[in-house]
Amino acid sequence: MDAEALAVVAAAVILANLPALLGLVHVDPLAYRAELTRTFTPGLLGGRPTIDPSNGFNSQAIGHLAVFDLLHLHLPWWNPYEGTGMPLLGETQSAALFPPTLLTALPNGQLYEHVLLELTAGICTYRLLRRVDLIRPAAVAGAVAFALNGKFAWFTDATVNPLAFLPMILLGVEQAYDATRAGRRGGWRLLALAGALTAYSGFPEVAYADLLTAVAWLGWRVGCLPGADRARFLVKIGRGGAVALLLGAPMLLAMADYLSHADLMNHAGTLLGSHHLPLWEAPQLLMPYIFGPVNGGHHQGIWVMVGGYLSTALVLLAALALATPERRGLKLVLLAWTALVFGHMYGVPVLGDVLGALPEMGRIQFYRYATAALAFPVIVLAAVGLDELTRVARGRGRLMAGTLGAAVAIAVAAVVSGPVIASFQKPVPAREAFLEASIAWAGLTVLALGGLALLRRRRARGMALALVVILDAIVLFAVPELSAPRAVRTDLAPVTYLRRHLGEQRFFTLGPIQPNYGSYFRLASLRLDDFPPDSYAHYVHTRLDPFTNFVGYQPAWAPSARQELLRRLDGYRAAGVHYVLTRPGDGLPSDHGSLRLVFRSPTAWIYRLSRAAPFVSAPGCEVRSVHLSHMRLFCRRPTTLIRRETWFAGWGAELDGHALRIHRVDGLFQAVRLPAGVDDVSFRFVPVGMRWALLGLLAGSVLMVSPTTWRLLMRAPQMRRLVAPEPSTV
């Protein structure tokens, strides 16, 4: 029966993604993020299919480079195509060593990656809910609800990667709990695996919120054990956590090393921790599209800060679960955790300060990244409520009260949302239709749950209630897909031109081949949308553009990037910029021949910037060959070689096999001293301490498999004969 239940979970995930899987809509970020779109047929609903452009600029563009490196048997330590070069693995959002990222090597691979993550989330949630003795229909409903939760629906960047492993971590806790009760060894390996995958998933803020959720669940399970077993249980949890740290050591070390040398902008202090969602946005939790389509033409703050949704059906079922005394311990823990998360997200006085006191919480956009930590306990409570409605038909009075309460909540949400929608400065496409459809759908699901819960046959009641939850999850998940473009033609002619002419030099863009997409096409782009190394940030602010913030264009009051480019051409030359890209018709003036138009296409004009500094320069030398990390020169005298790549701890250089000391020039670039003669110079980057981290990975892998491997070997007759004692000859 579990196989059939899991098949339903998988079918729901596939059905929800079917428009994209069939190619009826195009969700590939390249189609609408890279600004290389030649023709574009917009989606049916307006807006965008996702909230955060990081799904293109970071997850796709930089992740694609990491996969390219891996498939060519290179470890993805460094990205030479972003800015003047920066760490690749340590940047985290590329999820460079996250196994599902390999799927992005396929056309439209990001879609397949997220379908895999949704399936993993659903399967693990189902297994977890069955572990806590929920009936199959309730477990299936809860599994589908989490597999298609609001975070998965509205985001496709690295923020969704850790979601699949929240239920896996909790399932690992359950396995350790069962092993403790049965007096068995082990029980910690799934926890270790889930923890390691969470580390590699590429978004520490979401992982932090998920781990806090796991701590709450762990607290409940500790309370379920007698005193004598608690220590053994915690030892298993500690062992799983320690092995997870060993397995994730390469990622954790690279991340810590890079973030300690990066310009984190508003993440550097406690500013983000003081921000919360306004309470007038709370109706969006119950009715996700009450304010219109995702990133529709209205108040931008709604979509900039929000991180997902629940649904009216889930909240109703969760409330019904809390109204009964069964499973009191689990319900109280889930309710308390939900209240703490909601309080911190929406800035509820006193209640919201509890999580705010935790380490590093002030640096995190909790209101946006912790949505799964809010959704998961509500979904589990909803599954418990569905289970209890199925096992025993509740009295009409309690059921009617719950339905009436949900109807009142819908009405209040609609009343609150009305003035908000009316205040939008830009019109929302068919905003009345979205408001009315949201109210109608929420009311329909509430009435369906209330009516079906009164069915007399338990099996039919459970399946019918589960079907409503599943249908609700699929419909709400699929709405953003209708905002995706239905047809796209991409213009790759600018990419082809740069591949032929750029060489090891860089280009700067005022639009086409948007920031970070140079990494996707393996073309060195000076412009980036990321947290850059602090040395690069200082160079940009002092030599190129003092107003840029690296995660978007200049604020409205500042001079444009175009104005700053024309004002500071010498700084761009010194960084090795050889070409400048603009949108068609947005011409650049020729300043004494500095900029010359050399290419036109429907999406880009390309200008050549004269007198750009070469990627490698060495006075008194003839440069015979240059590659990104290797060059051959003939020097008539001792000299200094300058390589216009970001100096960063971890870089090493060799001259004909002998180590060279690298020093920093111009505050940013690399330089080495060379003797006279013919020299082969090579450069290599490995994050500081990575050899120790790889040893940790090896140790963790041995700890994961060694007992199992030993038992398997001992079962083989040949091995038993080898280790059996020799018969005595005495």
Task: Give the pLDDT confidence of 228-265 residue by residue, as tens digits.
Answer: 899 999 999 999 999 999 999 999 999 999 988 888 76
Does position 707 have pLDDT exceeding 60, yes or no? yes
Q: What pLDDT band is residue 464 in, cutting at 50, 70 and 90?
A: very high
Determine the average pLDDT of the residues in 570-575.
Answer: 94
Summarize pLDDT for 586-624 with one digit per residue, the tens.
Answer: 989 876 678 999 999 999 999 999 999 999 999 999 888
195 contacts 241 by C-beta, under 8 angstroms: yes
Does position 720 have pLDDT exceeding 70, yes or no? no
Does position 515 have pLDDT exceeding 80, yes or no? yes
Does position 227 have pLDDT exceeding 90, yes or no? no
Within a 13 Å sphere around the CA of 604, how many CA atoms are in the beta-carbon half? 28
Give the span between the Cα atoms of 326 and 597, in whole angstroms.
Answer: 74
Give the span between the Cα atoms of 294 and 26, in whole angstroms.
Answer: 16
DSSP string for residues in 482-508: GGS-SEEEE--HHHHHHHHH-TT-EEE
Does position 1 have pLDDT exceeding 50, yes or no? yes
Instruction: Please give the residue that has the higher pLDDT: either 296 or 723.
Output: 296
- For the beta carbon of residue 370, count every other beta carbon within 10 angstroms: 27
Give the span between the Cα atoms of 415 and 412, in whole angstroms.
Answer: 5
- Asked which of 226-230, 340-344, 427-431, 688-692 is least confident by mean pLDDT, the reply is 427-431
Task: Express as a percent the part of the chain with pLDDT over 90.
Answer: 66
Determine the average pLDDT of the residues in 414-435.
Answer: 72
Sequence letter at residue 242: A
Does position 678 have pLDDT exceeding 90, yes or no? no
SS (H, E, C) 577-611: EEEEEECCCCCCCCCCCCEEEEEECCCCEEEEECC
Determine the average pLDDT of the residues in 494-518.
Answer: 94
pLDDT of residue 729: 36
Task: Express as a percent the part of the chain with pLDDT over 70.
Answer: 92
Determine the average pLDDT of the residues in 168-191.
Answer: 94
Does position 505 have pLDDT exceeding 70, yes or no? yes
Determine the average pLDDT of the residues in 524-539.
Answer: 92
pLDDT of residue 308: 93
Does position 166 have pLDDT exceeding 90, yes or no? yes
pLDDT of residue 711: 57
Exposure string (b/e) for 558-580, b if CB count within 10 Å is 16 or more?
A: eeebeebbbebbebbbbbbbbbb
Q: What percent helix, strand, coil does the chain show, rounded to 5? A: 55, 10, 35
| Maximum average pLDDT range among 48-52, 111-115, 277-281 | 111-115
Q: What is the mean pLDDT of the chain?
A: 89
The backbone torsions φ and ψ at residue 158, rounded to the nearest 5 degrees and listed phi first, read -65, -15
pLDDT of residue 452: 84
Determine the average pLDDT of the residues in 354-370.
Answer: 86
The closest alpha carbon to 517, from 91, 48, 60, 69, belongs to: 60
Specify the 3-state DSSP secondary structure of 698: helix
Q: What pLDDT band is residue 46 in, cutting at 50, 70 and 90?
A: confident
Q: What pLDDT band is residue 553 in, cutting at 50, 70 and 90?
A: low
| Maximum average pLDDT range among 39-53, 156-170, 257-271, 448-462 | 156-170
- Asked which of 270-279, 452-461, 490-499 is least confident by mean pLDDT, the reply is 270-279
Does position 269 have pLDDT exceeding 80, yes or no? no
Q: Give residue for tokens 């998920």.
A: 210
Give the span between the Cα atoms of 250 and 332, in whole angstroms.
Answer: 38
Q: What pLDDT band is residue 628 in, cutting at 50, 70 and 90?
A: confident
Specify the 3-state DSSP secondary structure of 663: strand
Does position 14 have pLDDT exceeding 70, yes or no? yes
Q: What pLDDT band is residue 722 in, cutting at 50, 70 and 90?
A: very low
Tokens of 483: 């905002």
Does position 713 have pLDDT exceeding 60, yes or no? no
Summarize pLDDT for 292-328 with one digit per residue, the tens.
Answer: 888 876 555 678 888 999 999 999 999 999 988 889 9
Does position 62 have pLDDT exceeding 70, yes or no? yes
274 contacts 540 by C-beta, under 8 angstroms: no
Determine the average pLDDT of the residues in 391-401.
Answer: 68
The backbone torsions φ and ψ at residue 631, rounded to the nearest 5 degrees and listed phi first, read -150, 155
Does position 376 have pLDDT exceeding 50, yes or no? yes
Q: What pLDDT band is residue 728 in, cutting at 50, 70 and 90?
A: very low
pLDDT of residue 418: 77
Specify the 3-state DSSP secondary structure of 481: helix
Instruction: Please give the residue that has the higher pLDDT: either 220 or 435.
Output: 220
